[in-house]
C-alpha cells in the first residue's frame, strides 16, 4: 500500500472502525488529487463528504494555519476524522457539521472541496445550497475516482456550476473545477412517498437510506414485527419505518432510534413525530452509547457496505452490540439477504436462532440472549 504523502510528510490514515482483515484503505486517489491540485487561494476551505478525514488531514499537512470547516452526514466519518487528526498529532478543525445548511452563519470561504458522495441527491442538495448562500464565483472543486462518477455527473455539474472544467485523470481519479452561480436544480429537499405497510407518508432527506422506496428487506421485517411492551431499539433506523410501526402498534414500548446518518435520523424524527415522547433519537455508531443489559428487543436491517466497499463488519458490530445491550431473555430480530448468511453470525454469537419468515431473497431471523456473559 503506498502511503498518502503531503509535502514529503507521510500521513497515518486509518478507517473507522479499523478493518484489519480487509486491508481497506482510508483514502483513495481522488482524495490525494483534491489535496494536491485543489488550486484554491489562501483562506478558509469548506470540506464536504470527506469519508475518513483524509482530505482534512492532507490540507492540514499542506498548511496548518489554513482554517477548515468540515461537513459530513456520517457519525462514523466524524470518528474517523478525529482519530486521524490525533494519529497525525494535529489540532481539531475550526468546526465540524452534519449538513451544509449549518454553515449559514459562516462567512465566504476561499473555496469548497467536495468529495463526490455515493448519492447524487445529496450532491444536488449541497450545490443548490452553496449557490443560494455563497457569492457567485466562489470556486468549488469536486473529486472522485472515475469509476464512481455516474454518467449523469457532467450534465449535473454543468447545470449547477459556472465555468465547469474537468481535470486530467491521475491514477484513475479526476477533479471537476467550477464556480458557484445562481442556478437551482428545482429538486425538493424532501422526497416523500406513501408507505402502505405503515399507512402513512414517509419523508426522506437527500442522504436518507431508502429515500426512493421501501427497502425490500424492511418490507419483510415490517410484516413480521414482534409485539413488545418494554424497551426496543431500531438499530440503523434510516427513515424510521420500523420505529414508526413499532410505536404505532405497540403503544406500551419505548424506543431508541439510532443511525449514523444525520439525514437518516432527521427523516426518522419527521416520520415518527406523533410518538416522539416515547422515542429517544441517537446519532451514533451502532450502540456505543447504550448501557449493557438494558433492552428487551433490538430490530435491525443491517447495511452491507461502507462507502464504496462491500463489507460485513458493520453487521458484525451491530449484532455484537445488540447482544451486549440486551437483557437476559431479550431478542434480536433481523432481516437480511439470504446470501449474506447472517444465521452463521447469530449462531456464533447467540448459540442459535429461529427463522421467523422467508421469501425467495430475504430471511427474518431471531436470536435470544440466553444468559448474561462477561465476554462479548
Ligand atoms: C439497510 S439500512 C436500513 C434502514 C431502515 N431501518 C430500513 O429498514 O429501511 C441500514 C441503516 O444502517 C445505518 N448505518 C450504517 N452504519 C451504521 C453504524 N455504524 N451505526 C448506526 N447505523 C448505521 C445506515 O445509515 C442505514 O440507515
Nearest Cα to 208, choosing from 164, 270, 291, 256?
A: 270
* DSSP letter, residue 74: B
What pLDDT sits at residue 145?
97
Nearest-CA residue for ligand 1 atom 6 is 237
Alpha-carbon span 62 to 57, nearest angstrom: 9
What pLDDT sits at residue 376?
45
- Residue 317 CA: nearest ligand 1 atom is 19
Cell of 329: 431473555
Nearest Cα to 246, choosing from 236, 234, 238?
A: 234
What pLDDT sits at residue 310?
64
Mean pLDDT of successive 10-residue stretches along the chain, which has 376 residues: 86 85 84 98 98 97 96 97 97 94 94 97 98 97 97 98 97 98 97 97 97 96 96 98 97 97 98 98 97 98 76 91 98 95 96 97 97 54
Spans of all domains in the chain: 4-179, 191-368
Nearest Cα to 259, choosing from 234, 292, 225?
A: 234
What pLDDT sits at residue 2?
75
- Residue 215 CA: nearest ligand 1 atom is 9
Nearest Cα to 170, choosing from 23, 12, 9, 36?
A: 36
Which CATH code fits 191-368?
3.40.50.150
pTM of structure: 0.95
On the question of a common fold for 4-179 and 191-368, the answer reads: yes
Q: Are 74 and 52 in contact (CB under 8 A)?
A: no
Nearest Cα to 149, choosing from 179, 114, 181?
A: 114
- In short, whether 215's Cβ falls inside 6 Å of ligand 1 is yes
Distance from the CA of 256 to the center of ligand 1, in angstroms? 14
What pLDDT sits at residue 165?
98
4-179: in CATH 3.40.50.150:
yes
What pLDDT sits at residue 374?
46
- In short, whether 265's Cβ falls inside 6 Å of ligand 1 is no
What pLDDT sits at residue 306?
65
Distance from the CA of 123 to the center of ligand 1, in angstroms? 20
Residue to mutate, 303, 309, 322, 364, ligand 1, most ligand atoms under 8 Å from C-beta: 303
Distance from the CA of 303 to the center of ligand 1, in angstroms? 6
Alpha-carbon span 337 to 302, nearest angstrom: 10
Nearest-CA residue for ligand 1 atom 27 is 238
Alpha-carbon span 148 to 36, nearest angstrom: 20
- Residue 217 CA: nearest ligand 1 atom is 8
- In short, whether 260's Cβ falls inside 6 Å of ligand 1 is yes
Place of cell 488529487: 33
Alpha-carbon span 321 to 126, nearest angstrom: 33
What pLDDT sits at residue 128?
98
Concatenated DSSP letters of 109-176: -SEEEEEPPS-HHHHHHHHHHHHHHSPTT-EEEEEEEGGGS-TTHHHHHHHH-EEEEEPPPBTTEEEE
Q: What is the CA radius of gyration of the chain?
A: 22
Cell of 24: 481497506
What pLDDT sits at residue 375?
46
Amino acid at each position: 500500500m503506498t502511503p498518502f504523502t503531503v509535502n514529503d510528510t507521510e500521513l497515518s490514515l486509518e478507517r473507522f472502525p479499523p478493518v484489519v482483515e480487509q486491508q481497506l484503505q482510508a483514502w483513495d486517489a481522488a482524495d490525494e488529487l483534491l489535496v494536491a491540485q485543489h488550486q484554491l487561494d489562501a483562506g478558509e476551505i469548506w470540506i464536504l463528504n470527506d469519508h475518513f478525514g483524509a482530505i482534512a488531514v492532507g490540507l492540514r499537512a499542506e498548511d496548518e494555519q489554513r482554517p477548515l470547516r468540515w461537513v459530513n452526514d456520517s457519525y462514523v466519518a466524524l470518528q474517523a476524522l478525529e482519530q486521524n487528526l490525533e494519529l497525525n498529532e494535529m489540532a481539531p478543525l475550526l468546526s465540524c457539521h452534519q449538513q451544509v445548511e449549518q454553515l449559514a452563519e459562516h462567512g465566504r470561504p476561499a473555496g469548497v472541496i467536495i468529495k463526490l458522495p455515493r448519492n447524487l441527491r445529496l450532491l444536488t442538495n449541497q450545490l443548490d445550497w452553496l449557490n443560494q448562500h455563497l457569492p457567485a464565483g466562489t470556486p468549488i472543486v469536486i473529486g472522485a475516482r472515475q469509476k464512481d462518477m455516474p454518467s449523469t455527473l457532467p450534465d449535473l455539474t454543468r447545470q449547477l456550476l459556472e465555468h465547469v472544467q474537468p481535470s486530467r485523470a491521475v491514477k484513475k481519479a479526476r477533479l471537476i473545477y467550477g464556480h458557484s452561480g445562481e442556478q437551482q436544480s428545482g429538486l425538493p429537499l424532501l422526497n416523500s412517498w406513501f408507505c402502505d405497510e405503515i399507512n402513512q407518508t414517509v419523508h426522506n432527506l437527500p442522504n436518507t437510506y431508502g429515500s426512493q422506496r421501501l427497502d425490500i428487506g424492511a418490507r419483510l421485517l415490517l410484516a413480521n414485527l414482534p409485539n413488545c411492551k418494554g424497551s426496543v431499539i431500531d438499530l440503523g433506523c434510516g427513515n424510521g419505518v420500523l420505529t414508526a410501526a413499532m410505536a404505532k402498534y405497540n403503544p406500551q414500548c419505548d424506543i431508541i432510534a439510532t443511525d449514523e446518518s444525520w439525514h437518516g435520523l432527521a427523516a426518522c424524527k419527521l416520520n415518527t413525530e406523533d410518538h416522539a415522547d416515547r422515542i429517544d433519537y441517537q446519532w451514533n455508531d451502532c450502540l456505543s452509547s447504550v448501557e449493557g443489559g438494558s433492552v428487551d428487543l433490538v430490530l435491525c436491517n443491517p447495511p452491507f457496505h461502507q462507502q464504496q466497499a462491500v463489507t460485513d463488519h458493520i453487521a458484525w458490530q451491530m449484532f455484537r452490540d445488540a447482544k451486549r445491550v440486551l437483557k437476559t431473555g431479550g431478542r434480536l430480530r433481523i432481516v437480511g439477504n439470504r446470501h449474506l448468511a447472517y444465521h452463521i453470525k447469530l449462531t456464533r454469537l447467540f448459540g442459535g436462532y429461529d427463522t421467523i419468515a422467508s421469501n425467495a431473497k430475504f430471511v427474518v431471523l431471531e436470536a435470544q440472549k440466553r444468559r448474561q456473559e462477561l465476554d462479548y
